Amino acid sequence: MMLGSVLADGAVLADGPSQLLPAREQMAFTLMVHVILVPFGVALPLITLVMNYLGLRRKDPVAIQLARRWSTVMAIQFAVGAVTGTVLSLEFGLLWPGLMGKWGDVFGIAFGIEGWAFFLEAILVAIYIYGWKRMSPRAHFLVGLPIPIVALVGAFSILSVNAWMNTPQGFELDSAGNPTNVDITQVLFTPILAPQYLHMIAAAYMVAGYLVASVYAVGWLRGRRDRYHRLGFLVPFTVAAIVTPLQFMIGDALARQVFQEQPVKFAAMEIVWETGPDQPEYLFGRLQPDGSIDGGIRIPGLDSFLAGFSRDTVVKGLTEAPAADRPSIREANITHFAFDTMVGVGTVLLGLAFWFGLAWVRRRDMPRSRWFYRCAALAGVVSVVGLEAGWITAEVGRQPWVVYNEMKVAEAVTDIGAGPIWTSFAVVVVIYSLVVWAFLSVLLKMKLRWRHADAETARAGLPPDIPQQAVPVERDEVAR
Amino acid sequence: MSSTDLVALVLLLLLAAYTCGGGADFGAGMWDLLAGDRDRGARPRSLVDYAMAPVWEANNVWLVFILVVTWTGFPPVFEAVMSTAWVALTLVALGIVARGAAFAIRKPTHRVARRRHLGIVFGLASVLTPFFLAATLGGIASGRIPPGNSKGDPVTSWLNPTSVLFGILGLLAAAFIAAAFLVSDARRFEAPDLEAYFRTRAVVSGSLLLLVMAGGLLVVHEDAKPLYDGLTSGPGLGFAIAAGIFVLATAALLRTGRLRGTRLTAVGALASLVLAWGMAQRPYALPTTLTVDEAAGDPNTMRWLIFVTIVAVALIGPALALLYRLDLTDRLAADHDEDLIEATGAPGR
């Protein structure tokens, strides 16, 4: 449905050149696919290493087994993410040459940092994945240790560019309107970077944690209540549950930063039409062309209160900017809907995290209710919805600008006809669908294979199938 | 040497690295495609799979580096090339997706028919992707890509005599370096039959590469005179000769069975080839409409780019060395398949 609204969003862009619509849709589509893979590159390595550490520390073959299997999943998704990421780099030029030709030397350096961070991560991940069997367990673990840090550096660079597009600075314009005197530190560290960065990192940890845990929640519901499923659920879910309340604070800080730095975007997120104090908060609802709101739940004064801790806080409205320089009514509604969806998802997940925390504090154990596991089984997919909604909020809310208040998307787009881009968009959709389908079917098949393997070893009375490195541990287990 | 020259050199070296690393990768895909039916091709394919798996991801990241350094260091070049040669480059993007996904997914896929289909996708994408990439470089080299947003011809910018020549050279170079590397891999895995198999292929593709290089001069003479002049004088000529010598040296070493230096000489051949082109089109970034100096980004950015490059080399160098070392000393092994097959007692083992 969100994809539908993004696609529909383009339909109102009557003022741009005809190729703008397919270019935006293709970029949006490829980014929406890529962003799902991001949590597995950014957050799964740490979750896997925690499991690996537990396995080494407690000499627990089950933990080692889980870490090893997760690293296999990480490997496959990393490969797919590497190619979808490469496609995005090509698309910068194929779809947005105007952006790159003018601003490439201003914001490009962050991608340089991302380039080597990703390369380093790829190398270390390759060693980690292929090193399970023949490297010493300690050396293998140590090689894995820098991966989460390198991943944070890589994510920093990408978020730095996106933050710059939202709050551009660190350059002057010469008489021809071209940027000169680039100040790289100003470019890298823009006003909105810190909350935006932390928001994305926390989101990555939530998605990776809830998604991995949801797999084992399903197993738990189906009666596979062994140590394997317990550990596989506990470690990622705990990570995600710890991050969730933090994410609320980070998200709140980011929203206030948007209110300061991009008031018109904030107005779109909250569908505020006229500037003024005592603005109500609308939960969902649709902005009409005359500025009235249709539907939704109105909470008087809450928007002003959230923005400045007082009902007297003046919140700027969309009409603050000329119609050509602000999101259209349609775009504002998409932004608002996505924003409310994201906050809604976050609230639901926060409730789930509290449920888990409460059970742990009271009984030092996981919740007993089947309903908890039903919710946890859905939490993975729900968190992905939240991630996509957040991304749509950030991107659609910035329209019609690609570089906020400096360059419009219409000026950035490639100067070829709409037809070829529709064609390439269609081909991209087909190929990506095949890739996603194949990726998911491989994951499912691996899962089945692992389950068969476990059933086989259990029937034979053997300890779980574990890599060679844990052979001494295996003997311990048998002795016990 | 100005910071602009330095960044241009870095870009050329990145291109050389991608030609070698990516070339070995694409080339292995070509040999996979050409290995014949299931029975005949099984052994060469398994070597390709086994030898490539741990390093292939790292190889393809060079391309991202090239794109990033181009748009950061020489933004107008990036704008011009990507928007004019968009047909070829869109196909490259699609080829990369299809290829990467097919390879990654083929590993854990067990059904034979599915594996074969994925293998064909992988092989075809391994041929088309480097061809279109090299063809685009041919478009640049023959001056068919003017500065600006989509100012050149969307078809002849990458489909012309020089582009086709570059495309064929790219394919032969990839096939050559991949075969040369696979000879050493075969020896490492103690498979003398495969060693001979890939030695023949390395020598044949190397000979073809030499022939096309020499014959290509005629094409370039007709189609891109400034490039011809650059290739027949000064450093351009020097690197072209070096490339030829390195190919001959590789073939000679392979035939005598002394494999120690063959990886280096093969890398030297491809790197020289790339440098010959780069030197031949100096001082232009886009012959003959935009010089390297005109294309350069903000001077502050150029200095930062050099700094970032130094940091990158300092961090990636050791990591890459570790990867290759562990790989060459057999301490890396594909994890997913074998144990699981052993565990399930699946047929075929």
Cβ-count burial of B137 within 10 angstroms (0-12 exposed, 13-18 middle, 19+ buried)?
buried
Strands A179-180 and A281-283: unpaired
Q: Assess contact for B192 and B50: CB atoms under 8 A.
A: no
Q: Which of B86, B96, B340 sits opposite A94 (nearest CB)?
A: B86
Top-confidence range, A366-375, A467-476, B133-142: B133-142
pLDDT of residue A455: 80
Give CA–CA dist A111/B309, Å, rounded.
12
Q: What is the pLDDT of residues A93-132, one digit of tens each?
A: 899 999 998 998 899 899 888 888 888 888 888 888 888 8
Q: Which of A83, A179, A452 sits opposite B96 (nearest CB)?
A: A83
Structure tokens at A410: 């219409």
pLDDT higher than threshold 70 for residue B110: no
Top-confidence range, A272-276, B50-54, B138-142: B138-142
In terms of pLDDT, which residue wins out, B114 or A392?
A: A392
pLDDT of residue B55: 57
Chain B positions in Cβ-Cβ contact with residue A118 (cut-off 8 Å): 61, 64
Length of chain B: 349
pLDDT higher than threshold 60 for residue A476: no
pLDDT higher than threshold 60 for residue A9: no
Chain A positions in Cβ-Cβ contact with residue B72 (cut-off 8 Å): 104-105, 108-109, 111-112
pLDDT of residue B236: 92
pLDDT of residue B109: 67
Q: What is the pLDDT of residues A213-261, one digit of tens each?
A: 999 999 889 988 888 899 999 999 999 999 999 999 999 999 988 988 8
Q: What is the pLDDT of residues A14-65, one digit of tens each?
A: 467 888 989 999 999 999 999 998 998 899 999 999 999 998 999 888 888 8
pLDDT of residue B203: 94
Contact A465 B343 (CB under 8 A): yes
Cross-strand bridge partners of residue A297: A283
Residue type, B51: A
pLDDT of residue A225: 85
pLDDT of residue B335: 53
Identify the three-state secondary structure at position B336.
coil
pLDDT of residue B51: 73
In terms of pLDDT, which residue wins out, B341 or B230?
A: B230
| Angle subtended at Cα B322 by Cα B321 and Cα B327, rounded to the nearest 5 degrees | 100
Cβ-count burial of A124 within 10 angstroms (0-12 exposed, 13-18 middle, 19+ buried)?
buried
pLDDT band, very low/low/confident/very high, at A472 (cuts 50, 70, 90) = very low
Structure tokens at A60: 């627990």
- Provide the shortest C-alpha distance from residue A315 to chain B (in Å): 38
pLDDT of residue A463: 58
pLDDT higher than threshold 50 for residue A477: no
Q: Assess contact for B202 and B235: CB atoms under 8 A.
A: no
pLDDT of residue B53: 62
- Provide the shortest C-alpha distance from residue B256 to chain A (in Å): 33
Q: Which of B69, B301, B334 sits opposite A182 (nearest CB)?
A: B301
pLDDT (average), residues A387-403 = 92
Give CA–CA dist A86/A88, Å, rounded.
5
Q: Which residues contact B256 (CB under 8 A, 6 or more apart)?
A: none
| Calculated CA dihedral for residues A195, A198, A204, A210, nearest 10 degrees | -90
- Provide the shortest C-alpha distance from residue A8 to chain B (in Å): 25
Nearest CA in chain B to A113: B308
pLDDT of residue A12: 46
pLDDT band, very low/low/confident/very high, at B162 (cuts 50, 70, 90) = very high
Q: Assess contact for B185 and B51: CB atoms under 8 A.
A: yes
Q: What is the pLDDT of residues A404-433, one digit of tens each?
A: 988 999 888 988 888 888 988 998 898 888
pLDDT of residue A345: 95
Number of CB pairs, chain A paired with chain B, less than 8 A apart? 261
Could you give the C-alpha distances from B233 to A123, B236, B239, B250, B284, in angstroms and in order? 40, 6, 10, 25, 16
pLDDT (average), residues A443-464 = 77
pLDDT band, very low/low/confident/very high, at A442 (cuts 50, 70, 90) = confident
Q: What is the pLDDT of residues B183-222, one digit of tens each?
A: 988 888 888 888 999 999 999 999 999 999 999 999 999 9
What is the percentage of chain B residues whose pLDDT exceeds 90? 44
What is the percentage of chain A residues whose pLDDT exceeds 90? 37
pLDDT of residue A14: 45
Q: Assess contact for A238 and A212: CB atoms under 8 A.
A: no
pTM: 0.86
pLDDT higher than threshold 90 for residue B133: yes
Chain B positions in Cβ-Cβ contact with residue A126 (cut-off 8 Å): 54-55, 57-58, 323, 332
pLDDT band, very low/low/confident/very high, at A478 (cuts 50, 70, 90) = very low
Summary mean pLDDT of chain A: 86
pLDDT higher than threshold 50 for residue A266: yes
pLDDT band, very low/low/confident/very high, at B242 (cuts 50, 70, 90) = very high
In terms of pLDDT, which residue wins out, B171 or B327?
A: B171
What is the percentage of chain B residues whose pLDDT exceeds 70? 91
- Provide the shortest C-alpha distance from residue A127 to chain B (in Å): 6
Chain A positions in Cβ-Cβ contact with residue B78 (cut-off 8 Å): 93, 97, 100-101, 104
Chain A positions in Cβ-Cβ contact with residue B332 (cut-off 8 Å): 126-127, 130-131, 134-135
pLDDT (average), residues B149-161 = 89
Contact A415 B83 (CB under 8 A): yes
- Provide the shortest C-alpha distance from residue B168 to chain A (in Å): 23
Give CA–CA dist A350/A404, Å, rounded.
32
Residue keyed to tokens 């022939």: B211
Residue keyed to tokens 């970077």: A193
Q: Which residues contact A64 (CB under 8 A, 6 or more apart)?
A: A52, A55, A56, A466, A467, A469, A470, A473
Residue A294 CB neighbours (<10 A): 10
pLDDT of residue B135: 95
pLDDT (average), residues B222-238 = 91
Cβ-count burial of A290 within 10 angstroms (0-12 exposed, 13-18 middle, 19+ buried)?
exposed
Give CA–CA dist B51/B180, Å, rounded.
13
Write out the DSSP string of B122-154. HHHHHHHHHHHHHHHHHHHHTT---SSTT-S-T
Chain A positions in Cβ-Cβ contact with residue B63 (cut-off 8 Å): 86, 89
pLDDT band, very low/low/confident/very high, at A292 (cuts 50, 70, 90) = confident
Contact A79 B104 (CB under 8 A): yes
Backbone φ/ψ region at A181: left (φ over 0), alpha (ψ -120 to 50), beta: left
Give CA–CA dist A33/B333, Å, rounded.
30
pLDDT (average), residues B33-46 = 83
Structure tokens at B224: 């891109």
Q: Which residues contact A314 (CB under 8 A, 6 or more apart)?
A: A275, A276, A277, A304
Structure tokens at A343: 């906050």
Residue type, A127: I
Q: What is the pLDDT of residues A191-201, one digit of tens each?
A: 899 999 999 99
pLDDT higher than threshold 90 for residue A212: yes
Contact A456 B332 (CB under 8 A): no
Closest CA to A104 of B12, B70, B231: B70
pLDDT higher than threshold 60 for residue A474: no
What is the percentage of chain A residues whose pLDDT exceeds 70? 93
Burial A7-46, CB ≥16 within 10 A → b, else e: eebbeebeebbebbbbbbbbbbbbbbbbbbbbbbbbbbbb
Give CA–CA dist A387/A201, Å, rounded.
11
Give CA–CA dist B6/A333, Å, rounded.
49
pLDDT of residue B349: 24
pLDDT of residue B108: 63
What single DSSP character describes residue A278?
S
- Provide the shortest C-alpha distance from residue B110 to chain A (in Å): 9
Contact A90 B67 (CB under 8 A): yes
